[in-house]
Amino acid sequence: MCYLYLESKLNKAITCLHFEKMTDYDLSSYTIKNKFDQILELPKRLGVSGPRKMKEINAAIIADTIIRRSTISRSAISQETMLSPATVSTIVDGLIAKNLVMEVGDGESSGGRRPKLLKFNFSSGCVIGVDVGGTNISGVVTNLRGEVLLRVKYPYVTSNGEGAINMLIRVIDELADGMRENDSSVVLQGIGIGVPGLVRPNSGIVALAVNLGWKNVPLRKIISDKFQLPTFVGNDTDVAACGEALLRNEKTINNLIYVTIGTGIGAGIIIDRKLYQGSHGWVGEIGHIQVVEDGLICKCGKRGCLETVAAGPAIAGKALQYIRAGYGTKILELVNGDLNQVTAEVVSTAASQGDEVGMAIISDAGALVGKTIAYFVNFLHPDVVVIGGGVAKAGEILFKAIREKIVETSLPVMARTVKIEPSILGDDVGAAGAAALAIRQFLSNPLAGAK
């Protein structure tokens, strides 16, 4: 969105004026006047004009400042954002009128009256997030902080694209009804949807979701027309990254990579607290990076992709190879001898119980994933890499292998500073991530939300 982009650029320019982030702009090349001129020219260069658009941008900046600072006075907002006291006061009054901001007491006086402190009211509204998975559809209601208030989950009972849309609508209906039963005064501000496929984020069109039978489905329009609410659609891994970033401390985490290891392997990328979506919204397909020359044929048509050796089906397939080769393993015991029941989850369980075959398989997969992540560490140097998905339930055996390979492969200074952590959202990561997508979009224009 141009608003989010403009906010980012404005904040960078403002930060430079405070002499805090020398790497973003070289102060020796510009005067302070140049900086003010740059700020004033940004709306023109980005095609944003008119007082209404600027008010939306200013409201987003002010809301973000209040959230990041926890409590802050109007005068402090003005100083931090370089917006005039009158502009800050007008927008804050509008946010208070919508119950999005509260006055919570008095701050310290620097001479004169003590200023009123402001705090964002995360309980004033809620959003719905739905994860349209490969085998299940799950949904949550969260407050504006992203905390889950209500959840539902159903297996698919349909095998066609239209049926999947109807199930999605039924889940949203159920969540909306449940929200109203819990608290009829809370305002529903939007709907976020995560889809396992290629999504055009600007239009909300699902270009392709093979497992759902969707091709060029205008999902955002279908759902927004049905519920008359702002609706946002994203790739499931991208929205999971949004959820992980939202629920972490964004004061210290600006750059995050979320890697999911399940039926497939993908990545969602947050840069400067914004979701990176590339030219067409199709990024993070790390499962199709070649890691084995002349390896197995991948479903994408190429050979040796990461998914062919480290995704859930590959892990299960490796376990079957060990069993058929005569290796003794707890895996066979866990499935009562039924080889059709061998899954990555079973292999992970065996590994966690000390089974040597299970541990070897999970460690090998972790090393290959770690080597791939190391490339990202070297050229993006994120604050944290979050590992999620079904295979991540293998726990420390997997994480140890990933960390060791990153240390071995990445530049030492980068490997030492990046954190490798499990998902904090667990099984809710898809749906809560979709909710986070809706929250981020709502906060980009908070005055436009429902009252």
Q: Could you say which architecture CATH assigns to the domain 124-248+441-448?
A: 2-Layer Sandwich (3.30)
Q: Return phi, psi of residue 416, to 5°.
A: -70, -30
231, 242 Cβ separation under 8 angstroms: no
114: three-class secondary structure by DSSP:
coil
For range 171-197, the mean pLDDT = 91
For range 224-247, the mean pLDDT = 92
User: In the prediction, which pLDDT does 27 show?
Assistant: 36
Which residues on neighbouring strands pair with residue 129, listed in sequence order? Answer: 140, 192
User: In the prediction, which pLDDT does 52 show?
Assistant: 64
- Fold entry, domain 2-122: Arc Repressor Mutant, subunit A (1.10.10)
Q: How far apart are CA 446 and CA 439, in angstroms?
A: 10
DSSP-assigned states of every residue in 71-112: SEEHHHHHHHH---HHHHHHHHHHHHHTTSEEEEEE---SSS
| pLDDT greater than 80 at residue 38 | no
Confidence of residue 143 (pLDDT cuts 50, 70, 90): very high
Best CA proximity match to 398, nearest among 286, 262, 202: 262
Percent of the chain whose predicted confidence (pLDDT) is above 70: 85
For range 224-243, the mean pLDDT = 93
220, 201 Cβ separation under 8 angstroms: no
Six-digit token pair at 12?
A: 């960078």
Confidence of residue 227 (pLDDT cuts 50, 70, 90): very high
User: In the prediction, which pLDDT does 31 show?
Assistant: 42
| pLDDT greater than 80 at residue 45 | no
| pLDDT greater than 60 at residue 26 | no
Those residues whose C-beta lies under 8 Å from the C-beta of residue 359, and which sit 6 or more positions away, are 351, 397
| pLDDT greater than 90 at residue 50 | no
Average pLDDT, the chain: 85
The 10 Å Cβ neighbour count of residue 102 is 17
Name the more confident of 431 and 253. Answer: 431
Pairing of strands 384-388, 256-261: parallel
The domains of the chain are located at 2-122, 124-248+441-448, 256-423
Q: How far apart are CA 363 and CA 366, in angstroms?
A: 5
| pLDDT greater than 60 at residue 206 | yes
Confidence of residue 450 (pLDDT cuts 50, 70, 90): low
pLDDT digits (tens, 9 = 90+) for 351-372: 999 999 999 999 999 999 999 9
User: In the prediction, which pLDDT does 257 show?
Assistant: 96
| pLDDT greater than 60 at residue 75 | yes
| pLDDT greater than 50 at residue 30 | no
Six-digit token pair at 347?
A: 């292999």
The Cβ-side half-sphere exposure at 184, using a 13 Å CA radius, reads 1
- Decide if 124-248+441-448 and 256-423 have a common fold: yes
For range 313-327, the mean pLDDT = 95
pLDDT digits (tens, 9 = 90+) for 151-171: 999 887 766 788 889 999 999
Q: How far apart are CA 401 and CA 398, in angstroms?
A: 5
Confidence of residue 292 (pLDDT cuts 50, 70, 90): very high
Give the right CATH number for 256-423 from 2.40.50.140, 3.40.50.720, 3.30.420.40, 3.40.50.1000: 3.30.420.40
Confidence of residue 49 (pLDDT cuts 50, 70, 90): low
Confidence of residue 23 (pLDDT cuts 50, 70, 90): very low
401, 394 Cβ separation under 8 angstroms: no
Q: What secondary structure letter does DSSP report for 125?
A: E
